[in-house]
Each structure stands twice: as C-alpha cells, then as structure tokens.
Structure 1
Amino acid sequence: MLLFARLPTDFDPVRVGEAEFRAALSSMVLDIPLRVASSAPGQRGGGLAPGSGGSGGEAWQADMARSYGRLCEQRGSPGDCFTLFNDGPYLQDDDKRSIAMALAVGPALEGIDAEVRAMIDPTRVLATVSITLSAYMALLIAPEPVTKGVAAAFAVLLWGYLGFEFFELVRAYRRLSEEAARATTFAELREAGERFGRVIGPNSVRILVLVGTAAVGETAALMSRAPKLLGFGQASRTVELNAGLNLVDAAAGVERVIVSVPEGTLRAVLPMTAVAMAAKGGGGQRPAITGGKLLFNGHRAWRSHSGITNALGSPGKGKRWHHIVEQHASNIKRFGPEAIHNTENVIPLDEGLHTAVSAFYSSKRRFITGTGSLTVRQWIRTQSYEAQREFGLRAMENIKRGVWK
C-alpha cells in the first residue's frame, strides 16, 4: 500500500565537519564507478572541441571552449576532461550547468587525500559527481518536477539531511541553472558556480557532495551506500522524529517525489512500510513513535498536549516542543485536537527560538496584521489551518535570521 505524504522541512540540517567530510569522501570515491558519460540520467549535450575555431555567433563558443580546455590542462587532464563534446560540436546549456556545478563543488572534492589521489583520477571524480549532481538537481526545478527512481531517492536523502535548507539549495540551483544557460564567457560560469557555493554555504555543499557521490549509479547502489554516509544516523533520527518515517525505507521505496519551489512544498508517494519504523544508522536504533492515531499522511496524532508529549518524550537538551499551528482553544475548536497535536505540527525547537516566536505572536505588528489594535496571535487565529502553518514556518525562519525582531 502507498501513501501520498507532504514531507515537512521545518527541521535543522545535519552538520558535517570539514575533517570528517574529507575522511568520509576519500573512502567513498573508491567505491563509485567513474563512468562520466553515463553517470547521469537524460540526454547529454555536446560541445566544441577545446581550441576549435568559430565564427560569427559561434565565436563565444570557441572562447568558452578554449577556457574549458585550459581548466582541463590546469587539472592535469588536457582535452575534454568532462567528456562534454561526445555528441556535438557546441557547449549546450546542460554542459555549461555541469561546468558551473563543478566549479561550485570542486573545492570540496579537493579534500580527497593523497593516497586516494594516487589510485584514481580526481578530475574524473569531479566530472562524474558534478554531472550527476547537475542532472538530478535539474529534475527538481523542471516545469513538471516529478522525480522517480534514483533521482527520487537522491531528493529524499537531501531532504533528510537538509531540512529547511532543502529549498534554499533548490532555489540556489535554479539561479545557477539560469545564469549558466545565459553565460557566454567562462568567467560568468565561474561566477555562477562560486555564487551557488556561497549561497548554500559550506555545510550544504558537503552534504550535496556526499549524497551526490553516493548517487552515482542505480537506486540499489545508492541505498547500499546511504546508511554508511557521514551523518546518516542523525538524519534518520531527525526524519523519524519530525515525519514519523524511516529514512532508509522512504528513500528506497519512494515511487515519486514532487517538488514545488514557489509553494515551498515537497510531496512524495511512499510505501506504508516507511511509516513509523525504527530508524537505522550510525547512532544505533531508536524506538519507533507508537500510539495515537495514524493519519493518512503517515504522521501520528493525539487528542491532547500531554498525550503527544508523553509519546514523543524529551525534545532534547535546550529544546522545547513547539506547535507550529498554535494549540489555543480557538484552533482546537475549529480544526479538532488531532489537527493540532500531531507529529507534523509539533516539533522540537531551540528554547530561545521558541520563546522568541511566542513573544512575537503576543506583539502587535502593523506590517503583518494591517492594524495596530491586534496582536499577531489575534490576527492569525482568523486564518485557515494551512495559512497558519505556512505563517508559523515563515515566522520561525524570519525570527531565527533576525528579519523579524
């Protein structure tokens, strides 16, 4: 049996340290097939051979191709080191995106240690991983972003690692994609790649490289590598706590993933076996969330605050249980207690942020309510459940970043 679930993104990303990342990456690259030409789904574009001529409207192609050739030479792999020219004489948009992605993640991949470098060609690793990443990320920003197979598993794993930063990554890649497609100079490709790296930050770059390296190949290969990834245990526990899902079962069994960046939603068709299972990973096993009522979206619900908090246990050191849609009597009367006390709506939040959000709701903000006579809480309780939830998520993010004070 399958269920159609909206996956929450209101949790913090896994943190991956630089030293741990370098060690993990060095062991991973020895296990991936370096099949550059066939490492990613879909059709590949060709390109003008480095140093070839061009005239008229093709002159920029020649200049960019020569710059690409110099990049390959600098990396010790003269010629078409990313195999972008196999099926045509020009650099197509997807070729330029792959180059920009390589320039974005290249510094992270330089962490491969010397012993591993002696056994493999680091340029082929960079080419394979960047082409894979570019192809899978392109599916997430497509006009009809329905992702299946290994690309769907890739998306689910990124979600489990990144939480609320998942959409920052997708938005940043959309910008990289648009800028790379417009680029007519190598400098513009480099700027697009470097901007992407700055926007998502070094931690998200490391996570993207880890998951992307594991994703080279088929779904079975990805899922055999995933539980061994650095930080996978933490990602699994976070997903179980926030979504009631087993991350391994969700990624391995996902039928399709639908990403809507404008709406900020991530939906997936998942097997029922992914729901309320014990998470597996480096941190050992954690008891599944039991009790309550199993909802159609895979979350569990209770009829009281004490019921859900007793089932969930401690939120963790320095954290408080937080209701995204508030649990006051008005909401409970309008939407029912199970719409309020469920594992999609109740999340662990840092105590300081929890206090700040509560204080914000108690304050009067004309720029939100449109009047100085209502508090934010008085205003928001008149809105729909979905509107309250979307506002609650936005409030946490904006307060955390200091946009709303």
Structure 2
Amino acid sequence: MVRSYGRICEQRGTPGDCFTLFDDGPHLQQDDKLRIAMALAVGPALEGVDAEVRAMVDPTRVLATVSITITAYMALLVAPEPVSKGVVAAFSVLLWGYLGFEFFELIRAYALLSEEAARATTFAELREAGERFGRVIGPNSVRILVLVGTAAVGETAALASKAPMLPGFVHTSRAVEVNTGLSLVDAAVGAERVIVSVPESTIRVVLPMTAVAMTSKGEGDQSPAITGGKLLLNGHRAWRSHSGITNALGSPGNSKRWHHIVEQHESNINRFGPEAIHNTENVIPLDEGLHTAVSALYSSKRRFITGTDKLTVRQWIRTQSYEAQREFGLRAMENIRRGVWK
C-alpha cells in the first residue's frame, strides 16, 4: 500500500507524502487508508466538474484537502450522536439543500466506505472501495465536497461565501426557502447545531431565537431593538471594539456585567477578528457574581480540565478553535451555576 501510495504522489507531480499521511509514523493507519480511498473516489470526478467550480480551488492541492477535510466532516455526520457546529453545521445544511434525500444516501455510502477501507489489505481493495463510493456520490455531491474541502477549517463565513458560486445555487436556495421559510445561506451560517438522523432520514437545524423570530416576522416587519454595528447573516450584530458594542447595548442591568463567552484578549481577536468577539451572540449580560467566578476559573490552574498543572485554564483554552472556546465557555457558566465547578 505504501509503495502504491507513493506512485500516486509521483503521478501527481508531488513525490513523497503528498497527503501528509506519515506525520504520525511511517505506516498507513486506518484513517490514512480512508483518506486515500476518498481521494481515489473524488479524483476522477473532479475532472468533470464545471469550470467555475474548478476556478474556486487550487488544483494542485484539492485532492489532499478534500481527502483530509471531508473524511473528518463526514465522520461527524455518521457518529452515533452527530451534532455538528460551526463550519460542519454549514456543510451539513448546504449539502442537504443540494441533495435532498440523496444526502442520507451519501452518509450511508460513506459509512460503507469507512468499513471497507478499514478491512482493505491491498491497494486494489482500497481503489475498488473508493470507486464504488465515487459512483454513489455523483456530480452534485462532488461540487459541494469540493466547496467544503477548500473552505478554511472553522471559518463558517468563508464556506458560505463560496456557496453562491456553485452552479444551480439560486434554484436550490429558492427551493429551500419555499419549503422552510429560510434562506439556505442564512440557515447554514446561523445554525447553532445540526442533528442528522440517518435511520429516520431527517435533519434538524437548530437556529438562534433571533433568527427564528426574524423569519416568522418577515424582513419588512423587523423592529430590532439594537441598531448600529454590522448585521451578520445569523441576525446578530457585530462591532470592532469592546467600547463599540457596550455603548450600543447600554447597561447590562442591575448587578450584571457584560460577559464575552469567547474571551476578548488579543490572541483571540488576532485569530478570529474583532467582529467574531464583539457581537451580540458572544457578549451577554451575566450576574456579577457568576461573571467574577468564571473569570477566576479561567485564571486558575485546574488539572481536571487542562490535564496539566503548568497552564491556567485561559492559557489552555486560548489555543483551541472558536467553536471549542464557545462550547467550553457555555459549559463553564453552567457548571459554576450548578456548583459542579468551584
């Protein structure tokens, strides 16, 4: 298998470890075999996609990107409790919007591909599994897989911004809006989480209360209490500074403080941008006592959270993704409120 993998890299003009599969050792692991099978499945189909889709990607990197990124995203969808957030949620909604019930066939096909790749002992078996999956997914799935595979990991807006470039996007988005009352892009970007049930062939998109309210009232009936800043696709508003958002929001209320779920330190602002930090989804009013307790937790060293005595919680969490930091921030508030963490 290793020799055959090397020959593929040479044929593509990138000899060596072109999919970076050997970073964890010189042998092909189970997930490595799955990535190769995915590349073999998608590779031939890429030659036939429309020119406008090919213009979205760097052809020298697309196979490696797709094989690594898509296997990770699809693995979340076939998990026992496939609850997706951030860019994975956007991927799920856009893919469902394009494929309809074929979306669930794609997930089933991926589950079969995973099983066959794990059992494969020869490169020929890997190729056969990949080609079988390739026949199932078809050209529509390839379009959206390329889109997701070339979006930056964790950047939901980057993924959604490329969606209108797909052939047939206007028709697809209109069909979703007629049947659900929601814009396809708004649902993708605004989704707090997506729950996929393959046995029941259902997809559940959980949206913020603000997004649901805006949809039910209609765009012309909106009377937002908060103005200014930048209106985001998910219905929240964002500012480029702490003073900008707090001036717009006004007082948080008696014995309350404005609290950033994802902290507003320089590292986060540089990584995610100020508008990802200073927005009405991330900044919430919090009881002063709870706000102080959360800040104290982040400044402390908690081995049961970080796995080490050398880092504070803040030092540990700041290296993680935006979605991970937000999820931890919400969990921290709940656990402190319930007295689980002290």
Give the TM interval when normalised to the shorter protein.
0.5 to 0.7
TM-score (norm 2): 0.57
Q: Percent identity, aligned pairs only?
A: 81
Matched AA of 1:145: P
Q: Aligned equivalents of 1:203 and 1:264: distance in 2?
A: 19
Asked whether the equivalents of residues 152 and 256 of structure 1 are also in contact (C-alpha less than 8 Å), the reply is yes
| 159, 173, 180: which one aligns with 1:222 | 159
Inter-partner Cα distance in structure 1 for 2:2 and 2:81: 32
Is 1:269 matched with 2:173?
A: no
CA contact (8 A) 2:151 2:159 kept: yes
1:320-359: CA deviations, max 9, x gaps? xxxxxxxxxxxxxxxxxxxxxxxxxxxxxxxxxxxxxxxx
- Does residue 1:125 correspond to 2:62, yes or no? yes
Alpha-carbon distance change, 97 to 289 in structure 1, aligned in 2, over 3 angstroms: farther
Name the structure 2 match of 1:98. Answer: 35
User: Residues 76 and 217 of structure 1: is their aligned pair in 2 closer, same or farther, counting only changes over 3 Å?
Assistant: farther
After superposition, the Cα gap between the structure-2 partners of 1:288 and 1:237, relative to the gap in structure 1 and judged at 3 Å, is farther
**TM-score, normalization: structure 1?**
0.49
Query: Quick one: higher RCO (CA 8 Å, sep 6+), 1 or 2?
Result: 1
Amino acid at match of 1:247: L
Aligned to 1:136: 73
Aligned 8 A contact 1:139 1:147 in 2: yes
RMSD: 3.0
CA contact (8 A) 2:49 2:139 kept: no
Output the amino acid matched with 1:224.
S
Once residues 50 and 90 of structure 2 are traced to their aligned partners in structure 1, the CA distance between those partners, rounded to angstroms, is: 28
Q: Would you say the 8 A contact 1:137–1:173 is kept in 2?
A: yes
C-alpha contact 2:101 2:201 (8 A) present in aligned 1: no
Assess if the C-alpha contact under 8 Å between 1:247 and 1:274 holds in 2.
Answer: no
The structural deviation recorded for 1:230 is: 2.5
Q: Does residue 1:175 correspond to 2:112, yes or no? A: yes
The 1:91/1:289 distance shift into structure 2, 3 A limit, reads: farther
The answer to whether 1:239 aligns with 2:163 is no
For 1:358-373, list aligned pairs within 5 A. none
Deviation at 1:260, TM superposition (A): 1.5
Q: For 1:36-67, what per-residue CA distance to the aligned partner results, in whole angstroms no more than 9, with x for missing partners?
A: xxxxxxxxxxxxxxxxxxxxxxxxxxxx1111
Deviation for aligned residue 1:243: 1.5
> What does 1:137-176 correspond to in 2, within 5 Å?
137-176=74-113
Q: Deviations over 1:291-339 (max 9, x none)?
A: xxxxxxxxxxxxxxxxxxxxxxxxxxxxxxxxxxxxxxxxxxxxxxxxx
Secondary structure of 2:199's match? Answer: coil
Q: Please give the alpha-carbon distance, in whole angstroms, between the structure 2 residues aligned to 1:203 and 1:113.
A: 11
Give the residue type in structure 2 aligned to 1:179.
Answer: E
- Residue 65, structure 1, aligned to residue 2, structure 2: yes
Answer yes or no: is the 8 Å Cα contact 1:245–1:276 preserved in 2. Answer: no
Give, in angstroms, the shift of residue 210 of structure 1.
3.3
Determine if contact 1:260/1:266 at 8 Å carries over to the other structure. Answer: yes
Output the CA distance in 1 between the equivalents of 2:11 and 2:26.
23
Question: Where does the alignment leave 5 or more consecutive residues of structure 2 unmatched?
Answer: 222-342
Q: For the residues of structure 2 that align with 1:232 and 1:216, how far apart are their CA atoms?
A: 22
**Cα separation, partners in 2 of 1:113 and 1:162, compared to 1, 3 Å:** closer
In the alignment of these two chains, the number of paired residues is: 217
Deviation of 1:272 after TM superposition, in Å, equals 4.1
Distance 1:217 1:229, change over 3 A: farther
Partner of 1:253: 190
- CA gap of 1:223–1:202, structure 2 versus 1, over 3 A, is closer
In the alignment, what sits opposite 1:82? 19
| Residue deviations 1:190-248 (CA, integer Å, cap 9, x gap) | 11111011123333333333343346552121122223333221121111111121212
Q: Aligned partners of 1:102, 1:93: CA distance in 2, in Å?
A: 15
Q: Which moved more, 1:187-196 or 1:220-229?
A: 220-229
Task: Say if 1:212 and 1:276 are closer, same or farther in 2 by CA, change over 3 A.
Answer: farther
